[in-house]
Structure 1
Amino acid sequence: MLVLVAVLVSTPAIATGATQPVHSIDRAAEVQSSDVSDRAELERWLDETMADQLERHRVPGASVVVVKDEEVLLSKGYGYADLESGRQVDANETVFSIGSTGKLVTWTAVMQGIEDGRLERDSDVNDYLTDSAVSVPDTYSEPITLAYLGTHSAGFEDSLDGMIVDDPVEIRPIEEILVEHRPARVRPPDEFVAYSNYGTALAGHVLAEQSDTTFVEYVDERILTPLEMDDTTYAQPLPANLESRRAIGYTYQDGDYQAHQPLVWTLPPEGGSFQTTGADMSRFMLAHLNEGSYDSARILEAESVEEMHGRQFTKSQIDPELNGMGYGFIEMDQNGERIVGHWGDMPRFKSLLALFPDRDVGLFVVYNAPGDGPGRFELLDEFTDRYYPNSDEPVVDPPEGAADRARSLTGDYQSLTVSESSWQRILGVMTRTYTVGATDDGYLTTTRLGEGTRRWVEVQPGVYQESGGDERPVFQFNEDGRGTHLFRGAFGPATYERVPWYESLAVLQGVLAVGVLAFVSVLLLWLGAPLWRRLRDRAGPSDSERLARGLLGVVSLLWLVVLVIFLLAWINFNAEVASPSLALQTGMILRYVALLGTAGAVVAAGFVWRDGYWNTPLRVHYTGATLLAILVAWQLYLLRVLPL
């Protein structure tokens, strides 16, 4: 139980660590851009950079590709695809899972459907599903369209249900999964960006329905074959000729690398099952950089490519230049450079594709361990700074009045990309919440699990910039001037909404931690009371007293078991989504038994005081533990661990 308490209080909801130091950088004096076309210099730099990343982030291997002006400048593997056999990564041969970076292929396919007139971006998607069991409910007056799906602004809640299974034989038709695991519409479309795997899968299904084929067959015929992406597939398991070249996924644990079997993903349009090589992705990048064509093949018209790369959703009116969404592409502008692309997050693989359309340059990288989640963005930052540096002097010191304005924004901002109806909400709340604070000298701070504390300086009311950098968080205000939403320039497909104080991580962790201690104390008193009476030669309790204490003891034990079960479910998230364990299924029953027992303890607390059970300290303890059981149930309801 002490381990549980430690986990509950160790996440960075309460920022106590040191903030990142302010570095005053004279960029004008440092700007000496290199020429990305110098292949030898590019390779030397990447060799040094990748060697440092693999060692520092504990990653066995990676594949990197850089393209420019219709040719591949560099296509190279680093480290190992398979540690046991000693097989090294080869960018031309090694097959990686690239996760949601594969969504760019999906949206390219959807744009083909729009281009040839089979689909219209602004039509209700239900109009294309008349022969399908899939439908979108009319929760709001505004229907969901392909335009909203392509910018992740359709308004779906987040859900991974149905996306992962334990074995390829369990994969069902896309239509069945989309029907059975349809997430709720929780906000009107075109209001906020909130990343949606389901939305992309739905768009792929719409395309397939109108093409009278399967999504995978369509993509193979219309994109993979024309671009000669012969080593790219959605197949699970991999064909034999690719299986022998598969990069093994690893995690680094206890000083050693642990190999893992690949996850089985069930909705090809959302990218989970997309597997490819660096060389194949170079052809995809070249097609997008060359107005839709590669060699003699054309997959899109130039106008369609421009539309996909162009701004389709602006997140902030206060700072319109803040990165938003293209059509399927995420804006990642830096140093005044136009950059669009996507990244992919798998449990063991991390990838990134970034296009510089104005420079005809593309960068792709994929790693076979989760340690380089930040590494891919570090690589993009360093690549951009090296070849397209920004000479602007960064803002370092807060302006007058900044301290008061920063304090008015403090609180927790929770991503809209969370589940609103299932226990999966735990993942979103714990990992996608920013705690915003303020320093006495006017800096804004943000803290998030896995990111630590960062410090920001105000450039205008509601707009902040990283001290010594160019990353920007921007706030949205209501009519009363209160900050309601937070946008991050580095993460286009997300919106963070300010939550009430009682939904903050500090309150959540505090209630759960104190609740655990209270439940443990109840169990100690319950189990230790007979021994205490024997040592003191005291008379035993009445039947009513024994029943009241036993009830609270059972309730305390049940809540502890429920907390442990769902904590383990969070830790083993992917496995539980693929196939809920017996423990999780048991926990889903016990949570209601614990709630019913808590109601009984409330009634018992009234008898405890009315009939004068025990002494006053024990009555206070009983009442306090009962109250904490109620508060724990309330917090679990907010997490949807206890949906009512």
Structure 2
Amino acid sequence: MFERRIRLLGAVALVVTLLSAPLVATATPVPDSTATPPAHVSTPTEQVALTNQTETGAWLDETMAHQLEEYNVPGAAVVIVSDGEVVLAKGYGYAALDSQRPVDANETVFSVGSTGKLVTWTAVMQGVEDGRLERDRDVNEYLTDSAVTVPDTDDEPITLNHLATHSAGFEDIFRGMVTDDPDEIRPMDEILAAHRPARVRPPGQFVAYSNYGTALAGHVLAEQSNANFTELVDERIFTPLGMADTTYAQPLPARLEPRRAIGYTHQNGEYQAHDPVIWTLPPEGGSLRTTPIDMGQFMLAHLNEGEYGSERILEAETVREMHQRQFTKSEAVPELNGMAYGFIEMDRNDETIVGHWGDTPRFKSLLALYPERDTGLFVVYNSPGGGPARFELLQAFTDRYYPRSDTPVVEPPDGAAERARDLTGDYRSLTVSASSWERVLGVMTRTYTVGATEEGYLTTSRLGEPTRRWVERRQGVYEEVGGSDTLVFRFDEDGRATHMFRHAFGPATYERVPWYESLTVLQAVLGGGVVAFLSVLLLWVGGPVWRRWRGGDLPTGRERAARWLLGVVSLLWLAVLVIFLLAWINFDAEAASPSFALQTGKVLRWIALAGTVGAVVATGFAWRDGFWTRWARLHFSVVTALALLFAWQLSLLGILPL
């Protein structure tokens, strides 16, 4: 889930743009690509030996000390494994600030979020190995005794292969994932049946990350095994690997609770502690809690082709298959990161890297395997600042131990300016909701605005990120200036860019949206609507005062009714906007337990829409019967038109599901 402070920043930015309508894309300066790298990040020029534990520990100590301060994180832990051994396992900062309890990589229990999905997919592949499951079989065939079904909305069925590569074609939803009430934790099939996302595209077409898809795969395994999922994983993964401090239990068992890392947010210069999240999506959704050293043992098993000590959890060929690409996002650019089997490709510096990252409201984690180097990296943080910190650590680690061999592109080639202009526009992640107000989260935070400079560079901007600059490496492929990421574009038969992919973010596809769905149009329409509605309210209140001061005929009953109608409509639309903005700011809480305000907003939006239709009718009467002055009629008409456009944009945001 997206960090609360990013949503707060976004909401404030949106309110500002509604009143002034500047472009978000031009608000953030382009970073200086020639800036010197921070001291804690090694320049990728000379490889350092990972086997030198003293040197590795010193570098990591410096790096993590910087990260905790830079990203406002109380505590973190890192585990590095290589050549079948744990190179180091270290804790940094505090697991609990009030008692000054330090993080211990061997003892502290962290929530790791979706990084735990790798356990789910390991268990699924165990089911494939023993013949209980088939990767390319319709999952509905495994659900005959379950309340869960996948609707047959496409000719091609959804299979485990689609679920493992996040290409099943589900919309993104949050409802049903978390709750404030432990009593709402229900059996797996009930949750999956009650909160089934819509199928919005054919399977196998695009990658779009899905929490539901992995939960469904775990349920398929449990159904086919006639067993509880957590019991299966305990018996077949955690016990053989000696992961004694790893559990899905909510709340934590009494023996682990004193070792639990507290989750924090940083606001106004202070840390605020939070209670653990209560997950209602089945265990494989996000409730895995573990120690860093336990995750190190999981990494060792995968790097050693399924074997850990005298135990084997998977056959060697199965492990190699899980680490190999299963979904290619761009046939024209095969080096672009895609999806392995449950693992996300994270290649950097031409190094093969597979793994996963996890997000909860307070905890951020990342597990990365370098199979060809027999090396693994795991890191976890107990504050939202760990989100960017983990990827910075991954890049710094790769730069230091496996540095880049080629030379970055600096100058755009001939004709780059024209090609860059053809790529400009807004590109939105396919990982968005299509059926609820939650869509506003994806539209506002998962949309990239692509621009072009006169020199031929591309620029990208997104809410919560600085503007980045990109240089063309070849047609449709752009390298980040001063960075390590790559943008790749897909074109249709007419040569028009239709989709965009980020190399550093494998499980996502960004679709180019039409001009009328761009953030610029959104800001203009909503901003114009706010100004118009406020003008109506001002006239609504000031009109009688003006007449008493200047004199004039009293309006007829029909004229008063029309003005009251538009005034109420204006007030309702402003209330709806404010309610859903606040719901976005407090998204985690609203997803867990919708507030009375949000429920009220869902009713008011329909009343506002009905009132807008009534205002359209009143506009016709005003011109036919000559209400007020010509200028007053024109104002009434413009506000009514903007109310219609306002409703249209809210429908594109999912706030008004038309």
State if a TM-score over 0.5 links the two structures.
yes
Give the corresponding residue for 2:16.
6
Q: Is the 8 A contact 2:212 2:285 kept in 1?
A: no
| 1:490 aligned onto 2:504 | yes
Distance in 2 of aligned mates of 1:297 and 1:13: 54
Q: Is the 8 A contact 2:44 2:400 kept in 1?
A: no
Structure 2 counterparts to residues 507-526 of structure 1, below 5 A: 507-526=521-540
Q: Is the 8 A contact 2:358 2:364 kept in 1?
A: yes
Give the corresponding residue for 2:281.
267
| 1:118 aligned onto 2:129 | no
Q: Which amino acid aligns with 1:21?
A: D
Give the corresponding residue for 2:59.
45
Q: Is the 8 A contact 1:350 1:373 kept in 2?
A: yes
Give the 3-state SS of the residue equivalent to 1:208 in structure 2: helix
| 1:628 aligned onto 2:642 | yes
The offset of 1:346, in angstroms, is 1.1
Structure 2 counterparts to residues 469-488 of structure 1, below 5 A: 469-488=483-502
Q: Is the 8 A contact 2:343 2:355 kept in 1?
A: yes
The offset of 1:4, in angstroms, is 6.7
Structure 2 counterparts to residues 66-105 of structure 1, below 5 A: 66-105=80-119
The offset of 1:11, in angstroms, is 9.5
Distance in 2 of aligned mates of 1:417 and 1:547: 45
Q: Which amino acid aligns with 1:182?
A: R
Distance in 2 of aligned mates of 1:344 and 1:13: 28
Distance in 1 of aligned mates of 2:13 and 2:42: 50
Give the corresponding residue for 1:32.
46
Give the corresponding residue for 1:535.
549
Q: Is the 8 A contact 2:44 2:399 kept in 1?
A: no
Q: Is the 8 A contact 2:299 2:376 kept in 1?
A: yes
Structure 2 counterparts to residues 494-505 of structure 1, below 5 A: 494-505=508-519
Give the corresponding residue for 1:215.
229
Q: Is the 8 A contact 2:42 2:400 kept in 1?
A: no
Give the 3-state SS of the residue equivalent to 2:410 in structure 1: coil
Q: Which amino acid aligns with 2:360?
A: M
| 1:455 aligned onto 2:466 | no
Give the corresponding residue for 2:381.
367
Distance in 2 of aligned mates of 1:3 and 1:544: 40
Percent of aligned pairs sharing the same letter: 70
Q: Aligned pair in 2 of structure 1 residues 586, 278: CA closer, same or farther (>3 Å)?
A: same
Q: Is the 8 A contact 1:331 1:492 kept in 2?
A: yes
Q: Is the 8 A contact 1:4 1:564 kept in 2?
A: no
Distance in 1 of aligned mates of 2:56 and 2:624: 80
Give the 3-state SS of the residue equivalent to 1:492 in structure 2: strand
Distance in 1 of aligned mates of 2:226 and 2:44: 57
Give the corresponding residue for 2:327.
313
Structure 2 counterparts to residues 232-247 of structure 1, below 5 A: 232-247=246-261
Q: Which amino acid aligns with 1:22?
A: S
User: Alignment partner for residue 340 of structure 2, among 306, 311, 326?
Assistant: 326
The offset of 1:152, in angstroms, is 0.4
The offset of 1:12, in angstroms, is 6.6
The offset of 1:480, in angstroms, is 0.7
Q: Aligned pair in 2 of structure 1 residues 605, 301: CA closer, same or farther (>3 Å)?
A: same
Q: Which amino acid aligns with 2:251?
A: P
Q: Is the 8 A contact 2:135 2:161 kept in 1?
A: yes
The offset of 1:535, in angstroms, is 2.1
Distance in 2 of aligned mates of 1:389 and 1:406: 29
Q: Which amino acid aligns with 1:90?
A: D
The offset of 1:19, in angstroms, is 1.3
Alignment gaps of 5+ in structure 2: 1-10
Q: Aligned pair in 2 of structure 1 residues 422, 590: CA closer, same or farther (>3 Å)?
A: same
Per-residue CA deviation, residues 351-394 of structure 1 (Å, 9 max, x unaligned), is 10000001111000010110121100000000000011112111
Distance in 1 of aligned mates of 2:193 and 2:42: 56
Q: Is the 8 A contact 2:128 2:134 kept in 1?
A: yes
Per-residue CA deviation, residues 605-624 of structure 1 (Å, 9 max, x unaligned), is 11222222222222221111
TM-score by length of 1: 0.97
Give the corresponding residue for 1:396.
410
Give the 3-state SS of the residue equivalent to 2:538 in structure 1: helix
Per-residue CA deviation, residues 283-339 of structure 1 (Å, 9 max, x unaligned), is 000000001011111111100100000010000112111000000000001111110
Q: Aligned pair in 2 of structure 1 residues 10, 573: CA closer, same or farther (>3 Å)?
A: farther
Aligned length: 644
Give the corresponding residue for 2:370.
356
Please identify, of 15-24 and 174-183, the stretch whose mean Cα deviation from structure 2 is larger.
15-24
Distance in 1 of aligned mates of 2:484 and 2:619: 57
| 1:581 aligned onto 2:592 | no
Give the 3-state SS of the residue equivalent to 1:244 in structure 2: helix
Q: Which amino acid aligns with 2:306?
A: G
Distance in 2 of aligned mates of 1:11 and 1:301: 57
Q: Is the 8 A contact 2:44 2:404 kept in 1?
A: no
| 1:255 aligned onto 2:266 | no
Distance in 2 of aligned mates of 1:109 and 1:622: 63
Give the 3-state SS of the residue equivalent to 1:288 in structure 2: helix
Per-residue CA deviation, residues 16-46 of structure 1 (Å, 9 max, x unaligned), is 3321223399999962211111111111011
Give the 3-state SS of the residue equivalent to 1:240 in structure 2: coil
Give the 3-state SS of the residue equivalent to 1:103 in structure 2: helix
Q: Aligned pair in 2 of structure 1 residues 598, 246: CA closer, same or farther (>3 Å)?
A: same
Q: Which amino acid aligns with 2:478?
A: Y
Q: Is the 8 A contact 1:125 1:144 kept in 2?
A: yes
Give the 3-state SS of the residue equivalent to 2:467 in structure 1: strand
Alignment gaps of 5+ in structure 1: none
Distance in 2 of aligned mates of 1:4 and 1:311: 39
Distance in 1 of aligned mates of 2:204 and 2:616: 45
Per-residue CA deviation, residues 499-555 of structure 1 (Å, 9 max, x unaligned), is 000001111122111111111111111011112222223332211111111000000
Give the corresponding residue for 2:7.
none
Q: Aligned pair in 2 of structure 1 residues 85, 12: CA closer, same or farther (>3 Å)?
A: farther
User: Alignment partner for residue 159 of structure 1, among 161, 168, 173?
Assistant: 173
User: Alignment partner for residue 16 of structure 1, among 22, 27, 30?
Assistant: 27
Q: Is the 8 A contact 2:43 2:400 kept in 1?
A: no
Give the corresponding residue for 2:3.
none
User: Alignment partner for residue 178 of structure 1, among 192, 196, 203?
Assistant: 192
Q: Is the 8 A contact 1:81 1:247 kept in 2?
A: yes
TM-score by length of 2: 0.95
Give the ranges of 4+ consecutive aligned residues of structure 1 lying more than 6 Å apart after TM superposition: 1-4, 9-12, 24-30
Q: Which amino acid aligns with 1:408?
A: D
Give the 3-state SS of the residue equivalent to 1:48 in structure 2: helix
Per-residue CA deviation, residues 548-600 of structure 1 (Å, 9 max, x unaligned), is 11000000000011111111111111211111111111111110000000000
Q: Aligned pair in 2 of structure 1 residues 365, 322: CA closer, same or farther (>3 Å)?
A: same
